[in-house]
Amino acid sequence: MTQRDLVIIDSGGANIASVLFAFERLGQKAVLTADPDKINAASHVILPGVGAAADAMTKLRAQDGLIDCIRGLTQPVMGICLGMQLLFSFSEEGDVDLLGLIDGRVSKFKQHSADMTIPHMGWNNVVLEQPDHPLLQNVGQNVGQNPAQSPFFYFVHSYRADMNDHTIGRCTYGDDFTAIVARGNVAGCQFHPERSGKAGAKILENFLAL
């Protein structure tokens, strides 16, 4: 695989080490940094994240010029888990404005039944709304969008992005929500591709090929 100048933004998330190791397994080196100059110079950028949206935005704002840098990137950018949520406009978690790279809201799961646990944790299938999208090439099949034919990924989250015009993969947990999103050079996965076996690894590989 062609080596990319891959940067992982040092956002303080607990999943950073596992993301680094996932790319190492693909033979891809990555640099962890919050330096806007290094991020701007990268060919591909990952925005990881675990925790609360308001805390994450506070950490990003604490790094001089980092938010403006992220908003101005033109190379491929992927948000993972909370990092995906940060790409949107607003989160109910702390009533906080986010990066605004994709229009839409992040809201808390609704408790539909007594046995529905929140957070949504574990393996769940994702229906590929646009299976021909470059990010989803050879990830899985869902004939007739049958969930039973869809690839499975590993989730851990209490808030989710609403379905929107840029949803390319959807998951159902009580309600449908955005599991994979893509708009221009920006994409995101609500699940953890670095912990999602072959399907997750394929998404990371496809991202590097963008």
Catalytic positions: 81, 192, 194
Preceding omega of 119 cis (within 30 degrees of 0): yes
Say which DSSP state 38 is in: H
Backbone Cα Rg of the chain: 16
**Nearest-angstrom CA–CA distance, 131 and 152:** 14
* Preceding omega of 76 cis (within 30 degrees of 0): no
Tell me which residue of 131, 107, 136 sits closest to 200, measured CA to CA: 136
